[in-house]
Structure 1
């Protein structure tokens, strides 16, 4: 096999970029843009001690010649958008290269994305005023994109007329679509037993133009692992705030509770006030929510947390049980983001369910549908 990089098949070029210069004897030496791409990857992933131990990357001499701005320029020139987002995220979150989001010359070149927004929130305490202003512009761009998408989902969930063609992901008995379910499962008809076996029940989303006034209290855990949920909670709260008949309150918490209701109308300002990290006292946050509930049968308390309670878990359970007994709907969300793939304390979540709460992981759109169903019961 020729070691001329111009003749190496595409799959082997990818392997060479993955393995680094340790693969040169087998796959050949890169040149041109491929060599530049390899140097950019080596600048970042050559820092990984595990990969060095496996011989995948050598941390070679080329890495030291790249500065952070040079590296950003190379990444944006050499890689597609999905790769750019991944390596920029890894630079900050895996390897702690905070210059990526704390230098204005770098921030002005970097591609706005949700992962960058998360990184800004985690490092904004390191920024001077000039860099913070540039970071705020990036936050605004990303939030605007999320807000545009989520506003449509929230409006569809809360307003309009019944459309049997639009399905609800929330299985509510009164919204069971009998005809649609029969049609969707006709292939499971057993003529010998004269039975239809339902594999996929369908539900419609019932909407109306006016709802009774409800108070929605969002409690958002601002521990570092909940960054994505914090972002989407802030944007969702802003969407809910704009709905007629909805009274939205929002607070973030660690060991203290910070009432951010006055900033709900401006999710960018709200996010710039969030301080990620610190301990967790969910019981204290739920106590704050109890004080916000003025009419229990028209209130929903949503606790967005990984449920790793650093405070009094027994007090947390008692407070949730009291809210439910009074008639308040309590929802615990182990994740509120696009993936809805939570890592959480299962034991605390189980205790909250036993106390009468519902516990789930949802995307923001799914939460909007869930809330719409609750306020129309």
Structure 2
């Protein structure tokens, strides 16, 4: 009996007030959960956030929105809270709530919230900017805790394997590999190993072993990708064996490499929206490349080109022919299959430029595969990432 009542209660919460006759009424916490859901999804109801906003304007709606944000954090898990906040911003056009410090103190910080703050960075009032920066800093710090060590380990490990040093200096010796290779030279009387063969990393070389250029489309649809790419760029910039550059573009190109030591400042320098000139951005990045065969060039874009496509394809062919590992990420996010220009992706694939979407958790593996000079398109296929056909081997 209790199971039947619980099932009816869940259906009532899912279907809304119109199902009350069939499923029964709600009381206690369930009724409060229903009110929080109805405020967002029942746009014509008396408690709707949309209704409050239309009647009272921004000032009048703020207390109701603040209470609603508190309610959903009380009754729903963090993952659901983030979805409901995102729906509120998209369905009700409530971005003005992000311009108020009391609102920012109440919302659940996540990547989507950072993307909205990036879009509003030029119009955020002075009194709200410090709060906005604290929110962005919290998200950046959380992402760094989650993503820094996997990327650092993957990149360092791939560099170690790709740059073996047979005559290492003392500080460059790979002791684990050296000991394994010389176990047969164990000297029982001295209780030690005589290392006839030394194995080293070459990590102390004076110049970087790889150059990585991240070229990121800052059109509105790529907002989450910009956030994740900035985090990864900052991590790689901290590795002495990798020389990392980060370039943002729309119709103009902005080199943000100098901001990689502070991802928060970098993100507040992003200007989301506007047109897209991929050809111009790739041309700028091409001018930065000094050692093509040691360079990994990652274009992060949905490939909706507003510039000259033929010139872009010529540049891509020249980069590939020079030895650059050219990869296109159609998205760097957890949002599923992205919208992108399939025709241009296929043309790039025919030139040897694989194109696929990548999740943040898979990005360290991608960079490791590129550093090892693996077939990145084949690697992506093994990870279940759809790649454009006809990639040149």
Q: Judge same fold: TM > 0.5, yes or no.
A: yes
Could you tell me whether the CA contact under 8 Å between 1:99 and 1:106 is conserved in 2? no
Whole-Å Cα distance in 2 between the matches of residues 355 and 7 of structure 1?
59
Counting only pairs closer than 5 Å after superposition, residues 144-293 of structure 1 correspond to structure 2 as 144-160=141-157, 208=201, 210=203, 212-293=208-289
Shift of 1:298: 1.8
Whole-Å Cα distance in 1 between the matches of residues 3 and 355 of structure 2?
55
SS of residue paired to 2:151: helix
Counting only pairs closer than 5 Å after superposition, residues 36-115 of structure 1 correspond to structure 2 as 36-47=32-43, 59-63=44-48, 64=51, 67-115=64-112
Whole-Å Cα distance in 2 between the matches of residues 44 and 86 of structure 1?
11
Whole-Å Cα distance in 2 between the matches of residues 338 and 44 of structure 1?
24
Match of residue 123 from structure 1: 120
Match of residue 290 from structure 2: 294
Could you tell me whether the CA contact under 8 Å between 2:158 and 2:369 is conserved in 1? no
Shift of 1:163: 11
* C-alpha RMSD of the superposition: 2.6
Match of residue 308 from structure 1: 304
Shift of 1:122: 2.8
Whole-Å Cα distance in 2 between the matches of residues 162 and 303 of structure 1?
21
Match of residue 24 from structure 1: 20
Match of residue 177 from structure 2: none
- In structure 1, list runs of 5 or more residues that go unmatched: 48-58, 165-206
Could you tell me whether the CA contact under 8 Å between 2:337 and 2:357 is conserved in 1? yes
Whole-Å Cα distance in 2 between the matches of residues 129 and 267 of structure 1?
20
SS of residue paired to 2:305: coil
Whole-Å Cα distance in 1 between the matches of residues 323 and 226 of structure 2?
27
Greater Cα offset, 273-282 or 94-103 = 94-103
Shift of 1:279: 1.2
Shift of 1:214: 2.1
- CA 1:346/1:138 → structure 2, altered by over 3 Å: closer, same or farther? same
Shift of 1:137: 0.6
- CA 1:216/1:131 → structure 2, altered by over 3 Å: closer, same or farther? same
Match of residue 349 from structure 2: 353
Instruction: Give the count of matched residue pairs.
Output: 320
- CA 1:208/1:333 → structure 2, altered by over 3 Å: closer, same or farther? farther
SS of residue paired to 2:92: coil
SS of residue paired to 2:86: helix
Match of residue 143 from structure 1: 140
Whole-Å Cα distance in 1 between the matches of residues 35 and 222 of structure 2?
33
Whole-Å Cα distance in 2 between the matches of residues 277 and 43 of structure 1?
30
Could you tell me whether the CA contact under 8 Å between 2:330 and 2:356 is conserved in 1? yes
Whole-Å Cα distance in 1 between the matches of residues 75 and 361 of structure 2?
35
Whole-Å Cα distance in 1 between the matches of residues 158 and 296 of structure 2?
23
Greater Cα offset, 37-46 or 115-124 = 115-124
Shift of 1:208: 5.0
Whole-Å Cα distance in 2 between the matches of residues 75 and 143 of structure 1?
23
Could you tell me whether the CA contact under 8 Å between 2:302 and 2:340 is conserved in 1? yes
- CA 1:339/1:156 → structure 2, altered by over 3 Å: closer, same or farther? farther
Shift of 1:8: 7.0
Shift of 1:30: 2.2
Shift of 1:162: 11
Deviations along 1:125-181, one digit per CA (max 9) or x if unpaired, are 3321221211111111111111122211112212259999xxxxxxxxxxxxxxxxx
Whole-Å Cα distance in 2 between the matches of residues 7 and 279 of structure 1?
55
Could you tell me whether the CA contact under 8 Å between 1:221 and 1:305 is conserved in 2? yes
